[in-house]
């Protein structure tokens, strides 16, 4: 009995020792973990703060935090209180079971994908022009900032000179903003016309511009109209500010209208952009509405198979330019119109090829070639410095000449969409070749584009060619050559030798006793001696026999 009691006490002692060792290990691990956290707290804080500066904020956590039917702000407090009142606080939990701190508004940026996207964005010709414009605007605003803060007082000590150069910079920056508004305004007017007209085709076109994924939205007309009116407000505010800078000198120019136009010109586009992205037009559409939109698109879309059957057209997989660049005399009419009516022919051809509205192209092309000369010439008149005046005037002339690049841009789009052959003449870059062709020989380039569009049919962003020939272009054998002639070979108009209503034959014996079949082909039946048929009777397969022995 004594031996059994001693054994049991020994086992209890061992169990107590093991329990105390486990508790000490747990406490030690918790202490080590706390020390490590304290040691790395500053590093983590700096790293997370830098990540917050670099990353794009996410709004999903905020929407979940305040959404209806989910946790309220007090739920977060209750969760913390329950954790504190529990038996195992998070600080003393095992190391592997502890959840690390997660900041929901920090995202990792895929720098490779971002760099690739930026490269592709810069390669677009319109984006290149936008970057050039932004560069000059940034330089002008930076110079104005230096003058306003007095950082150039030591460089330009005289106050009169500083005022003069401030006015020169203001005039140049005003011209840059004005020219950009003029370039964008034709498209905005076109969108306003589409909103006022509001047909099914207009709705589809506007959805591609203002609605996310092109899906319909409830009350979308009002939302689109608000965005378009805000953008119009931006343009008209800039026009008003431009009138103040051109109509008044720096000393007599009123201050409050100037501040009003500047505030409207800045606030209106910012409000339009925020409303378009985060408003009803930028939200994801529910599945039911997506299904409805697809049904509407299918209902509005034409039956392509039926069109192909009717037109009997085949897709041209490898189209070619019709003639060379200088083969203008292949079509003298197109060549002469391309020289004397360049803008009208260009707009008509762009709309025919499916690149937008004809009038928008005409007005935009006209403004690109005329507006820089007018804007920069008037700006140069208001500049009180000879060098700056001549530089501004020459810049306007060069920009007018560069307006021809607008045609080169759309030639590139035409070549890429319809898979036309490229010409790597300029340094191996086909796009540069297209620009140079329009810049130095716009009439020849336009004539070649029109001739190419005349040769093919344009359907579904591709060139088509009719598979069958017209009846008028076929060569038929004459009756004396053993043929039936063009009339008797017309299967779509010829009728059978028997009347489909009466079942009687229309053949009559001639003077020699032989029967001659009468074929009715879009002529009066009295000429053949037959009975008059209903014009809506569908034609039957012809059985033509000249003479029956």
For 198-213, what is each residue's pLDDT tens digit?
999 999 999 999 998 8
In a domain, 49, yes or no: no
The answer on 368 and 260 residing in a single domain is no
Length of the chain: 549
Dist. CA 103–CA 101, nearest whole Å: 7
Residues 245, 369 share a domain: no
Q: What is the pLDDT of residues 300-316, one digit of tens each?
A: 544 444 444 444 567 77
Assess whether 281 and 333 both reside in one domain.
no
Asked if 493 and 539 touch (Cβ cutoff 8 Å), the reply is yes
Measuring CA to CA, which residue among 519, 523, 525, 526 is closest to residue 540? Answer: 519
| Among candidate residues 458, 480, 510, the one where a domain is terminated | 458
Residue 341 lies in a domain: yes
Residue 431's alpha-carbon distances to 124, 416, 418, 502, in angstroms, are: 10, 10, 15, 69
Dihedral sign (CA 332, 335, 341, 347): positive
Instruction: For residues 131 and 248, state if they share a domain.
Output: yes
Q: Could you tell me if residue 153 is inside a domain? A: yes
Residues 354 and 267 in one domain: no
> Considering its fold, how many domains does the chain have in total?
2
* Residue 183 and residue 270 in one domain: yes
Asked if pLDDT for residue 45 goes beyond 50, the answer is no
Measure CA of the first residue to CA of the last residue in the chain; give whole Å. Answer: 140
| C-alpha span between 120 and 126 (Å, rounded) | 12
Full-model pTM: 0.63
Matching residue, tokens 């036309």: 420
* Cα 454 from chain centroid (whole Å): 27
Residue 419 belongs to domain spanning: 328-458
d(CA 472, CA 80): 88
Instruction: Give yes or no for a contact between 402 and 185, defined as CB atoms under 8 angstroms apart.
Output: no
Decide which of 434, 458, 482 is a domain's last residue: 458
For residues 172 and 273, state if they share a domain: yes
Query: 């990353």: which residue's tokens?
Result: 55
CA-to-CA distance for 235 and 148, rounded, in angstroms? Answer: 26
| CB neighbour list of residue 338: distance below 8 Å, 6 or more residues apart | 328, 345, 442, 443, 444, 446, 447, 450
Eight-class DSSP state of 301: S
In 3D space, the residue among 498, 534, 502, 504 whose CA is nearest the CA of residue 519 turns out to be 498
Whether pLDDT at 325 is above 50:
yes
Name the average pLDDT for the chain.
74
- Is the torsion defined by CA of 414, 416, 419, 424 positive or negative? positive
Question: Shortest CA distance to 371 belongs to which of 138, 184, 189, 240?
Answer: 184
- The per-residue pLDDT for 215 is 85
One domain for residues 129 and 278: yes
Residue 12 CA to residue 293 CA, distance in Å, equals 76
Residues 505-540: pLDDT tens digits?
444 444 444 444 444 444 444 444 444 445 555 555
Residues 281, 135: one domain?
yes
* Lowest mean pLDDT across 62-66, 77-81, 183-187, 283-287: 77-81
Note the pLDDT of residue 153.
87
Domain end, chosen from 428, 458, 488, is at 458
């Amino acid at each position: 009995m004594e031996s059994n009691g001693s054994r049991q006490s020994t086992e209890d002692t061992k169990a107590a020792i093991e329990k105390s060792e486990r508790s000490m290990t747990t406490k030690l691990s918790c202490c080590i973990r706390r020390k490590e956290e304290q040691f790395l707290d500053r590093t983590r804080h700096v790293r997370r703060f830098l990540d917050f500066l670099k990353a794009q904020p996410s709004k999903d956590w905020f929407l979940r935090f305040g959404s209806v039917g989910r946790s309220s702000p007090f739920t977060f407090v209750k969760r913390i209180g329950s954790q504190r009142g529990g038996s195992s606080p998070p600080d003393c939990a095992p190391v592997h079971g502890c959840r690390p701190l997660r900041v929901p508004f920090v995202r990792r940026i895929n720098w490779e994908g971002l760099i690739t996207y930026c490269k592709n964005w810069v390669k677009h010709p319109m984006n290149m022009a936008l970057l050039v414009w932004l560069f000059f605007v940034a330089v002008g605003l930076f110079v104005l900032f230096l003058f306003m803060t007095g950082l150039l007082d030591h460089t330009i000590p005289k106050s009169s000179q500083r005022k003069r150069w401030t006015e020169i910079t203001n005039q140049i920056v005003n011209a840059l903003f004005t020219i950009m508004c003029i370039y964008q305004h034709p498209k905005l007017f076109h969108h306003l016309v589409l909103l006022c007209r509001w047909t099914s085709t207009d709705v589809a076109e506007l959805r591609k511009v203002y609605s996310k994924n092109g899906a319909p939205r409830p009350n979308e007309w009002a939302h689109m109209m608000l965005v378009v009116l805000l953008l119009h407000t931006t343009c008209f505010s800039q026009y008003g500010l431009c009138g103040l800078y051109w109509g008044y000198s720096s000393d007599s120019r009123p201050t409050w209208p100037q501040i009003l136009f500047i505030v409207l010109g800045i606030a209106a586009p910012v409000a339009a952009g925020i409303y378009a992205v985060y408003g009803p037009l930028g939200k994801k559409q529910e599945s039911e509405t997506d299904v409805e939109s697809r049904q509407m698109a299918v209902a509005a879309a034409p039956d392509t198979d039926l069109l192909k059957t009717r037109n009997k057209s085949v897709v041209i997989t490898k189209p070619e330019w019709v003639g060379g660049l200088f083969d203008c005399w292949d079509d003298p009419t197109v060549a002469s119109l391309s020289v004397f009516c360049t803008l009208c022919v260009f707009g008509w051809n762009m709309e025919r090829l499916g690149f937008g509205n004809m009038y928008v192209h005409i007005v935009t092309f006209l403004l690109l070639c005329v507006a820089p000369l007018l804007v920069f010439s008037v700006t140069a008149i208001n500049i009180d410095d000879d060098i700056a005046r001549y530089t501004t005037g020459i810049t306007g002339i060069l920009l007018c000449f560069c307006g021809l690049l607008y045609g080169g841009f759309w030639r590139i789009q035409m070549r890429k969409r319809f898979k036309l052959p490229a010409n790597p003449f300029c340094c191996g870059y086909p796009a540069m070749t297209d620009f140079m062709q329009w810049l130095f020989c716009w009439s020849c380039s336009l004539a070649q584009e029109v001739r190419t569009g005349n040769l093919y049919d344009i359907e579904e962003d591709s060139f088509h060619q009719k598979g069958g020939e017209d009846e008028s272009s076929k060569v038929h054998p004459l009756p004396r050559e053993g043929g039936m002639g063009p009339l008797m070979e017309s299967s779509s108009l010829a009728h059978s030798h028997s009347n489909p209503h009466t079942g009687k034959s229309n053949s009559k014996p001639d003077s020699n006793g032989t029967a001659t079949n009468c074929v009715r082909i879009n002529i009066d039946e009295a000429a053949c001696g037959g009975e008059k048929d209903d014009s809506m009777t569908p034609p039957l397969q012809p059985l033509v026999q000249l003479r029956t022995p």
